[in-house]
Structure 1
Amino acid sequence: MRQDTPTLAHHRYWPRGVPHALRVPQVTLNHYLEVNAVRYPDKPAIVFCGQTLSYAELLRQVNVLAGYLQHTLGVARGDRVLLMSQNGPQFVVAYYAALRSGAAIVPVNPMSTTPELGFYVRDSGARVAMVACDLLTQVLPLLGQEGDASLKHLLVHSYADGLSQGPDDSLPEAMRGEVPVALPAGVHRFADALAAAHAPLAGESSPDDLAVLPYTSGTTGHPKGCCHSHRTLLASNLASQVWRGLHGDAVFLCVAPLFHMLGMQNGMNMPLTLGATIVMMPRWNAAQAVELVERHRVTVWTAPPAMVIDFFAQPDAQTRDLSSLALLSGGGAAMPEAVATLLSERFGLQYNEAYGLSETAAFLHANPVARGKRQCLGMPTQGVDSRIVDPVSLQELPPGEVGELVTRGEQVMSSYWCNPQADAAAFIELDGRRYFRTGDLAHVDEEGYFFMRDRLKRMVNASGFKVWPAEVESALYEHPAIHEACIVGVPDERRGETVKALIVLKPEHRGHVSEQDIIDWSRQRMAVYKAPRLVRFMESLPKSGTGKILWRELQAAEQGSASPITEPSPEESGS
């Protein structure tokens, strides 16, 4: 029998009116869209680049696209469908259409390269991909290829498809392209799919069906798919709604990438579950975001600290009427104390910090809105049991001691996709119950609030995106001039951390290859957020007696000497 440990101490500071347990409805995500289209048919579901998509029209497009996936592309219950697009209503329609057809979505970063996409296709078994036209060249090489990294069909959209009028000037030039007139066999137009107006088959999905398969990298460098059902997604989604007192009259600003759990859950699934309105941005533009908050009276915004800092640094933020903004929340990195103070004193806003992972469908821990602590992971939310244990013995540790955060709750994924070895390493049994090992080192205070201290796993957190050094190092070793490489994370005022490569060149290449050459080469071979933004050449890398590179020693040295970086990151600037 457990004593009154710090994981229960937080009940003394529990938000008033929030139940301790979570009851997840026995329905799918699509159920909420269907109900809200009946309740609020004319209500704006999505506002995008000057255009509005009502709940009734959103549901119509979802249903006819689901019918096309089933009747024309052969998508059936249990299939996986890859989705690759920047933010737009078409992402939402494609996502919910795949779920309506009984399939699961494999959301991938738009910055993914063809080799990276090949892995996702091969590992997930996806045979159909839905992709934006600006990203088509990255996916086309996988169409009709021999082997298991082959796609049978592509469904291609432009960011104007499905809108009654063309988007306004807020759509970036790079996203204004149209689907090519001439398309190879196996490539289908999103607009044609909507025009075909196929009726979907009778719904067969259940709450426990696989719904989303997001990939997260591991210490071995091989991405792993997180198996999330409608139930696990709704558990996270509904818990967050109740914790923060959200309702259907809320207006959400959606700018975090929808392929990422932060944007997917907080910017798309949550407002659609509530019957709220989404004000969606195609890419991050701080000045534009300020204008949208005022124009549409945005009330809720979830974003990483880097975006929030950008937003309130805008001159217009000091003069525009932002009084509608009532809830500002996020995670991925701690909010700097100076910025938290500015938000509180000048704008009357508290940044509600929370904690979650791809494996937990985002929402897991959160600070009470009325009693938050800064730079804090918050406390376990409804139905969540988190503990701090010794990473080796797995014995629970007392308050103040640093150990690994392990957790259980209804939002935790069922498993990694077809990866029993990863499951064996990720899940443990304590007191007869199954817990997920987060790999994060933390401690808990006397009041039951959790604080991040370090990472048990070797990982760089760049604006909430996980970058695993082993994966980047493996790619760097393909460069003909590189003899040895070690990836470390260094402080970055905007991104939290950024990727730095410590490199030993082969003797014959020294003086002939520059740091910028390495950066440019890397960006051609991996997603931009993974590619090193800083490079330092070294004569040698320190090693242990067994020949292993002492990455902890190198990281400590680089973090101690690093200068803060203030340039915008690629994912923030949209490049």
Structure 2
Amino acid sequence: MSTPLHHAVWPERLPHAITVPATSVWENLEVSARRYPAKTALVFMGRDTSYRELCDATERLAAWLYGIGVRKGDRVLLLAQNTPQLVTAHYAILRANAVVVPVNPMNLPEELQHYIRDSGARVAITTADLAGQLAQASNELPEAERLQHLLVSQFTDAFDPEAMGPVELPAAWRPWLLGDYPPAQLDGGQVHSWAEALACQEAPPPHTVGQGDLAVLPYTSGTTGQPKGCMHLHRSINHNAVAGALWGRGTSEIVMLGVVPMFHITGMVVVMHSCIYVGGTLVLMPRWDRELAGRLISHYRVTNWTNIPTMVIDLLASPNFASFDLTSLQYIGGGGAAMPQAVAQRLLEQYGLRFCEGYGLTETAAPSHNNPVDRPKQQCLGIPFVGTDARIVDPETLQELPQGEQGEIVVHGPEVFEGYWRRPEATEQAFFELDGKRFFRTGDLGRMDEEGYFFITDRLKRMINASGYKIWPAEVEALMFRHPAIQEACVISTRDAYRGESAKAVVVLRPGHEHTSEEDIIAWCREHMAAYKVPRSVQFVAQLPKSGSGKVMWRLLQEQEDTGAAA
């Protein structure tokens, strides 16, 4: 077989493939705690947590989980923003030989029910601001499917608002982080406090999982509406944690800004797991705030920042930008949306930083492609990642296409997931064999240039990308059909100057509901779905265009929208 084109631009001193650790993801923390016991692992709102403290906390929490009945392979729901509690709980679940089910904190009860029911989780860990919604979701399920245990932490379990040092709490966050939330009521189950769980004095169970065991079950949606669990073994997560650290020049001395959500595969793998694998320091932000980000980068001398391009755009637009010191940054990159050329140029001219865009999916444990640090191309997915074989194939025949032609991007590599949880048919549709290898079909259309760099050109799958958040129209439509005034709905993408894309709903109203307004629909959606999924605009039509078989012709509506936007 000929040498892949991208090998000519491969980063110097970086292996083309790596040996994946035979150990579990939790053992990365254990090793770092033995090597650097007193070193700061986490920084959160002015409080430092050492590697020894973090590792000890995961052992105590794992023992507590075992005490309430969690056994090897059991799924445990984790619903939290970027906090020390999320990191501790994630590693504790793995330490207990169980499986992490990370869930987006923006989901509302109707959405949360699916994660409880589909994963079969009986235990969940969350923060006080989200506990009520999670309990409500469980309480509305049939008794046999409900949660049995809910572990709830207060934000102040992780920091002291009176001793934050140079880090000033954003005023808008005070009611959220310091709020007094009513206790969650879990029908037929028990609610426990973080302090109670961390006080456990029992010994944790023997740690028996390794690279071939299920580690994480993150969910992704698709054309069928309901999110599907992606089965990732310790092996696939560890591959991209280790490879991601190598790619971003990670050493034990890195200081990483942890602001991309760590319930999401990118933040989880290439931020949290990569940083802890090398023994670096992770500076946590529970939400994006440009002023706080600027102060944290300046004060803690952040070296590595994986982000969504809209964050960089926002930071550069701060009226206080001149007061921030970004000179410590050595690596900056991310994905989810294209970085505007003018912004990338400003980073290069002002700081000598080349923004490295990457590409990946939940199914590929984040990067399947990344731009070389020394030779990135703008608005480009990059080259196939460490150990990865990526190709462009004809979506109909699945035959490989010549360089330069548009086709579907397909991926084979150690980071690719095993398949969809309890969805054998969906798994079968997602894979095919080429040259004796099992390739995953991404559903994205792209092309490869003469140097082996990949560029995205279109999507086969119906998906909207809003600032890196994936919106699956079928899922939004399924929720909208519950509105009493909506007879039919078709969700398409509309251009958005800030987010790149947003959702737009084309709606047919039921007879007798003609007075329902766009504002009524949007307000209802805000109550029933995560904020990022809510359509930004609603267009009312007498009927939706349909094919001869009765299917809604969403592509026609999308083309009309694109033509109108271009005009």
Partner of 1:78: 73
Query: Corresponding residue for 2:15?
Result: 19
8 Å CA contact 2:240–2:270 kept in 1: the answer is: no
Post-superposition offset of 1:303 = 0.6
Does 1:516 pair with 2:519? yes
Distance 1:86 1:409 in 2: 30
Alignment check: 8 A CA contact 2:132 2:185 kept: no
Structure 2 counterpart of 1:141? 136
State the partner residue of 1:59.
Answer: 55
Residue 420 of structure 1: CA displacement? 0.3
1:444 counterpart residue number: 448
CA–CA distance in structure 2, aligned partners of residues 164 and 523 of structure 1: 33
Aligned to 2:153: 157
SS at match of 2:155: coil
Which SS does the other structure have where 1:315 is aligned?
coil
Pair 1:487-2:491 in alignment: yes
Residues 517-541 of structure 1: CA deviation (Å, up to 9, x unaligned) = 1111111111111121211222333
**2:169 corresponds to which residue?**
170
Deviation sequence 1:237-293 (CA, Å, 0-9, x none)? 111221232111000001111111121123311111110001111111001100110
Flag structure 1 segments of 5+ consecutive residues without an equivalent. 565-575
- The separation in 1 between residues aligned to 2:103 and 2:416, in whole angstroms, is 20
1:213 aligned partner = 217
Native 8 Å contact 1:65 1:197 kept in 2: no
Change (3 A) 1:493 1:237: farther
Identify if the C-alpha distance between structure 1 residues 293 and 162 changes in structure 2 by more than 3 Å, giving closer, same or farther. Answer: closer
Amino acid paired to 2:315: F
Closer, same or farther: CA 388–177 of 1 in aligned 2, 3 Å: same
Paired residue type of 1:156: V
Tell me the residue number matched to 1:365. Answer: 369
* Aligned pairs (5 A) from 1:277-316: 277-316=281-320
Indicate if the aligned counterparts of 2:132 and 2:184 stay in contact, CA closer than 8 A.
no
Counterpart of 2:340 in structure 1 is: 336
Cα displacement (A) at 1:326: 1.1
- The alignment's C-alpha RMSD in Å is 1.8
Matches within 5 A, 1:143-292: 143=138, 146-163=142-159, 168=164, 169-170=168-169, 172=173, 173-178=175-180, 186-292=190-296
Q: CA deviation at 1:320?
A: 2.2
What is aligned with 2:559?
Answer: 556
Residue 498 (structure 1) aligned with residue 502 (structure 2): yes
Would the aligned equivalents of 2:152 and 2:191 in 1 still touch at CA under 8 Å? yes
* Cα displacement (A) at 1:147: 4.2
8 Å CA contact retained: 1:160, 1:166: no
* Match in the other structure for 2:352: 348
* 2:79 aligned partner, one-letter code: M
Q: Which of 107, 115, 125 pairs up with 1:112?
A: 107
In structure 1, the residue matched to 2:536 is: 533
The answer to which of 433-442 and 16-25 deviates more is: 16-25
Within 2, Cα distance between the matches of 1:424 and 1:22? 28
Q: Please report how far the alpha carbon of residue 386 of structure 1 lies from its aligned counterpart in structure 2 after TM superposition.
A: 0.6
Letter in 1 for 2:411: T
Q: Is 1:122–1:148's contact at 8 Å kept on the other side of the alignment?
A: no
1:100 and 2:95 aligned: yes
Q: Which runs of 4+ in 1 moved over 4 A?
A: 142-145, 162-167, 178-185
Distance 1:419 1:292, change over 3 A: same
For each residue in 1:38-58, what CA deviation from the matched residue of structure 2 results, as whole angstroms up to 9, or x when unmatched? 221111111101111111111
358-367 vs 547-556, which moves further:
547-556
2:101 counterpart letter in structure 1: V
Aligned length: 558
Aligned partner letter, 1:520: A
- 1:315-364 Cα offsets, whole Å, 9 max, x none, are 22233221001111101111111211122122321110111110011021
Residues 528 and 148 of structure 1, relative CA distance in 2, 3 Å threshold: farther
Asked if the contact 1:476/1:522 (under 8 Å) is kept, the reply is yes
Corresponding residue of 1:568: none
What SS does the aligned partner of 1:83 have?
Answer: strand
Identify the residue that residue 117 of structure 2 maps to in structure 1.
Answer: 122
**Alignment TM-score, normalising by the size of structure 1:** 0.94
Residue 560 of structure 1 deviates from its aligned partner by 3.4
- Give the whole-Å Cα distance in 1 for the aligned partners of 2:404 and 2:513: 50
Q: Aligned partners of 2:464 and 2:11: how far apart in 1?
A: 33
Give me the whole-angstrom Cα distance separating, in 2, the residues matched to 1:134 and 1:38.
34
Equivalent residues of 1:53, 1:163 under 8 A apart? no
- Using the size of structure 2 for normalisation, the TM-score is 0.95
Q: In structure 2, what is the Cα distance between the partners aligned to 1:489 and 1:402?
A: 22
Q: Is the 8 A contact 1:143 1:153 kept in 2?
A: no
Q: CA contact under 8 A between 1:385 and 1:408: conserved in structure 2?
A: yes
Residues 381, 134 of structure 1: CA spacing in aligned structure 2 closer, same or farther, 3 A cutoff? Answer: same
Aligned to 1:572: none
For residue 524 of structure 1, give the secondary structure of its aligned residue in structure 2.
helix
Residue 506 of structure 1: CA displacement?
2.8
**In the alignment, is the contact (CA less than 8 A) between 1:237 and 1:363 conserved in 2?**
no
